[in-house]
A and B are shown apart, each in its own frame.
Chain A
Amino acid sequence: MLWGNLLFLGPSTLVFLAVVVIPFAISIIYSFSNWNGISNEIKFVGLNNFNNIFSGKAKFLDAFWFTLRITAVTVLLINLLGILLAVALTARLPLRNPFRAAFYLPQTMGGLILGFIWQFIFIAGFPAIGDKLNLGFFTQQWLGTEKTAFAALVIVNVWQNAGYVMVIMIAALSGISSELIESAKVDGSRPLNTFLRIKLPLCVPYITVSLFWTISSALKMFETNVSLTKGGPYGSTTSMALNIYNDAFANNKYGLATAEALVFFVIILAITSVQLYMSKRKESQIL
């Protein structure tokens, strides 16, 4: 079977080594150096890069704090809106399927394109709406101040990803046996009560999937930052991934950027495993 192993596992092993394993290993080595990405000289500086990261000398901590805040807000809103949409669109509404497709539509497009579309909406569309309705809320400089730029990114990300949670939750809700719901009804349970006490607990495994996916994609946010705010104003909306990209390819701090990239990996690993562990425990408690 040796040749079978070689034939079936060999190509994928080579590709996986070249694209994932070797770069990952190199990035650990580079993270202890001060290489600028161009010169032939590489000096090893020990834990210097990590010191700079954790002491706040590098801007990584700011990016981390921003990413954490926006992840908290967007994940909450995406999941709430997604669940609401799923509940509404599992009722027997006319035009149910085209409606589902409409909410899913932004999910099919790249974050970069969506960010540019919304740049137009925030710069030209919102002020025009504000003028028409005489609402100051819409006429602000949406991409110009730190608070509104943050809000703008939240709006775009919720708009982009709510459809995903909706699809997952529709699958969850339509998988619940109608007999169960009928018997709850016979026992006198009100619709809201049935939803909170019976349907929602049965959906926990699916909510776990949604949370896992929305949290990890929010932590990796990059495209919408590039296209909507470019990380500004004053770097206030620079996500972790954008910060790493800037340090490596714009500021020529390769060594520092690889150290940041490793810290980024550990953060994602830690948050997603804690989240998975807690949701699995919750699941086993309920089921």
Chain B
Amino acid sequence: MKKNPVSMLITFMVVLAGVLIFVAPLWIMVMNSFKPLNEIIAFPLRFPDEWSFDNYVKAWEEVNIPNIMKNTAIVSFSAVCGVIILATMTAYWAERHPTVYSRIFSSAILLSMLIPFATIMIPLVQVMKFLHLNNTIPGAVLAYWGIGLAFAFFMIRSGVKTLPYELEEAARIDGCGVIQVFVRIVFPLLSPVVFSVFVMDMFWVWNDFMIPLVLLNNQKLSTVQLAINRLFGMYNSRWDIALPALTMSMLPIIVIFILLQKKIVGGVMAGAVKG
């Protein structure tokens, strides 16, 4: 559509103003994270006189950034890999070998998308205690496997539906067993949808607060979200520690988002279209 340049310019200015307003909170946070506390409180909108990393050193030690990043990475990676393996196996088998059980199980998984975590979290703690997994990383990971299954299953099943059956048949004739067909043929063919589920679920688990809050009540095992929450509980208005901690906790997310922007947005759209 052609538009006249004046209305284009006005649209551009309005959108630019919107972008500035949208980014301002993040910018104010980053800017203040380099200032001493008295300057933060007195002049929160002013540029720092000098950019000092003192706050960052303090926050790094206070929050134990390497430890919480490591915990969060371990939890996220194991959670998402497990979810994907379980969901791919289930979706593939249920699609190729429909039985009464696989139909019931598929609908149960999809229905579980409607169950909010708050509904099952209280007894889930009991189950984890029974399995001796309460307040352990494997326990939290197990919870993610069960809760993340629905969305991953939903996405991957639509991928399985588009797979040509002839390929699997040909492989079977050439002497591949069921497992080999799955590992060598099906899984690689599903890699585009698997990758977008991987990225979306990584963001979900990395940012999730409720599951670790309920199932990882152990300071040594703190994830990023838990550590930030604890920090704000301990020091009220110590912005000189809180702001650099917040900035550091966001950094990995922002870097990955910038690198994988197209994939992430594409994945969101794919998820929406299938809904």
Contacts and interface: CB of A to CB of B under 8 A. Distances in A.
A binds B: yes
Interface of A: 1, 4-5, 7-9, 11-13, 15-16, 18-24, 26-27, 30, 37, 85, 88-89, 91-94, 99-106, 108-113, 116-121, 123-125, 128-129, 132, 159, 164, 167-168, 171, 178, 181, 206, 209-210, 212-213, 219-220, 222-223, 226-227, 240-241, 244-245, 248-249, 254, 257-258, 261-262, 264-265, 268-269, 272
Contacts of B264: 108
B90 A93 contact: no
B146 A264 contact: no
B138 to A, nearest CB: 12
B250 A113 contact: yes
Interface string B77-109: 000000000110110111001010110010011
B249 A113 contact: yes
A92 to B, nearest CB: 8
B interface secondary structure, majority: helix
Given A8-B89, A16-B146, A110-B209, A244 B101 contact: no
Interface stretch (B9-17, B47-55, B58-66, B166-174): B9-17
B22 A108 contact: no
B262 to A, nearest CB: 9
A27 B14 contact: no
Contacts of B14: 88
A167 B155 CA distance: 18
B11 to A, nearest CB: 6
B1 A181 contact: yes
Given A88-B15, A124-B239, A168 B25 contact: no
A111 B157 CA distance: 29
Given A91-B3, A117-B29, A19 B119 contact: no
B6 interface: no
A112 B228 contact: yes
Given A88-B14, A120-B32, A223-B209, A12 B86 contact: yes
A105 B257 contact: yes
A209 B118 CA distance: 23
A245 B41 CA distance: 33
A20 B120 contact: yes
Nearest to A81: B18
B258 to A, nearest CB: 8
Given A12-B109, A19-B143, A167-B265, 13 more contacts: A9-B101, A18-B146, A22-B127, A24-B115, A27-B120, A93-B8, A99-B15, A102-B23, A113-B228, A113-B250, A124-B44, A168-B269, A240-B118
Contacts of A102: 19, 22-23
Contacts of B120: 19-20, 23-24, 27, 261
Interface of B: 1, 3, 8, 11-12, 14-16, 18-19, 22-23, 25-26, 28-29, 32, 40-41, 43-45, 86-87, 89-90, 92-94, 97, 99, 101-102, 105, 108-109, 112, 114-124, 126-127, 131, 142-143, 145-147, 149, 178-179, 182, 203, 206-210, 213-214, 225, 228-229, 232, 237, 239, 242-243, 246, 249-250, 253-254, 257-258, 261, 264-265, 268-269, 272-273, 275
Contacts of B242: 116, 120
Residue picked from B25, B29, B90, most chain A C-beta under 10 Å? B25
A230 to B, nearest CB: 10
Residue picked from B19, B208, B213, B257, most chain A C-beta under 10 Å? B19
A258 B99 CA distance: 34
Given A209-B272, A227-B232, A23 B118 contact: no
A interface secondary structure, majority: helix
B93 A11 contact: no
A128 B45 contact: yes
Contacts of A181: 1
B224 to A, nearest CB: 8
Contact of A9 (B105, B121, B124, B143): B105
A264 B119 contact: yes
Contact of B254 (A5, A105, A212): A105
Contacts of B143: 19
Contacts of A128: 43-45
Contact of A93 (B11, B117, B232, B257): B11
Those 6 A-B pairs whose CB atoms lie nearest each other, nearest first: A19-B146, A110-B207, A8-B93, A26-B123, A23-B123, A23-B120
B10 to A, nearest CB: 11
A247 to B, nearest CB: 9
Residue picked from B123, B142, B250, most chain A C-beta under 10 Å? B123
A171 B14 CA distance: 22
B274 to A, nearest CB: 9
A110 B203 CA distance: 9
Given A105-B23, A120-B239, A261-B119, A111 B209 contact: yes
B11 A226 contact: no
6 contacts: A9-B102, A19-B145, A24-B119, A105-B257, A108-B257, A220-B116
